[in-house]
Amino acid sequence: DTEVTQTPKHLVMGMTNKKSLKCEQHMGHRAMYWYKQKAKKPPELMFVYSYEKLSINESVPSRFSPECPNSSLLNLHLHALQPEDSALYLCASSQLSGVLTFYEQYFGPGTRLTVT
Amino acid sequence: AQRVTQPEKLLSVFKGAPVELKCNYSYSGSPELFWYVQYSRQRLQLLLRHISRESIKGFTADLNKGETSFHLKKPFAQEEDSAMYYCALSGRGATNKLIFGTGTLLAVQP
């Protein structure tokens, strides 16, 4: 299995709702990522997990809460979002990079989130 | 500061014409450079990376450290090349952080 899967494909939520985005990979990758992509813009890194531990948080608001329950799963918990948080949320995974190497990131298809 | 610049939002060419998508970067050390492609309704995928020096789907890119550029080239464009192309940079080390340019939409006309 060489794919990153994401569920759901589409999500509409109100500003008071709590929802979660899920990401799964079975390639044995130990680094996993969340990106946010607005329309016609490049992906923006939100979080990086290495060996199931949060290694990078790009100053993301606390209404976004990541979780990595095991090496194959990555969740993004959403609470009290704003309409401007509407975007495509991408998950990616890769082998862990080292000082001399950088491994390709494999991207999922994304979850299209609309906050009403 | 780390930055990737793609000056063209849209590049329109005719089938069979040469293509060059420009990418310039700013990085204080020795970066790794990539080109990612996003076809319509498909996921973002790696096209090529400078360190492998491969040619994928007829595309090549050469890292020019003097001009801090990593332009993507193809001698003869095909309609199926129409897509959004992102140049991306990563610094060496274990941070796994990828910085994307703003992207260039390539439209190949028949």
| CB within 8 Å: B94 and A110 | no
Tokens for B64, please give them: 């020019």
C-alpha torsion sign, points B103, B41, A1, A64: positive
Closest CA to A25 of A36, A33, A17: A33
Distance in angstroms (rounded) separating the CA atoms of residues A51 and A70: 9
Distance in angstroms (rounded) separating the CA atoms of residues B89 and B93: 12
Query: How many whole angstroms from its chain centre is CA A79?
Result: 15
**What is the least distance, in Å, from the CA of B63 to any CA of chain A?**
16
**What is the least distance, in Å, from the CA of A18 to any CA of chain B?**
26
Q: Of A83-97, B16-30, B82-96, which gets the smallest average pLDDT? A: B82-96
Helix (H, G, I), strand (E, B) or coil at B33: strand
Tell me how many residue pairs between chain A and chain B have CB atoms under 8 A apart: 60
Length in residues, chain A? 116
| CB within 8 Å: B96 and A108 | no
What mean pLDDT value characterizes chain A? 93
Question: Does position A102 have pLDDT exceeding 80, yes or no?
Answer: no
Phi then psi dihedrals of residue B44, to 5 deg:
-65, 135
pLDDT at residue number A76: 98
Q: What 8-state DSSP symbol labels residue A52?
A: T
Tokens for A12, please give them: 């509409």
pLDDT at residue number B94: 55
Helix (H, G, I), strand (E, B) or coil at B31: coil
pLDDT at residue number A34: 97
Question: Does position B93 have pLDDT exceeding 80, yes or no?
Answer: no
Tokens for A94, please give them: 């890769």
Considering CB atoms only, which of B34, B96, B101 is closest to A31?
A: B96
| Per-residue pLDDT tens digits for A39-63 | 989 999 999 999 999 999 999 999 9
Query: How many whole angstroms from its chain centre is CA A77?
Result: 10
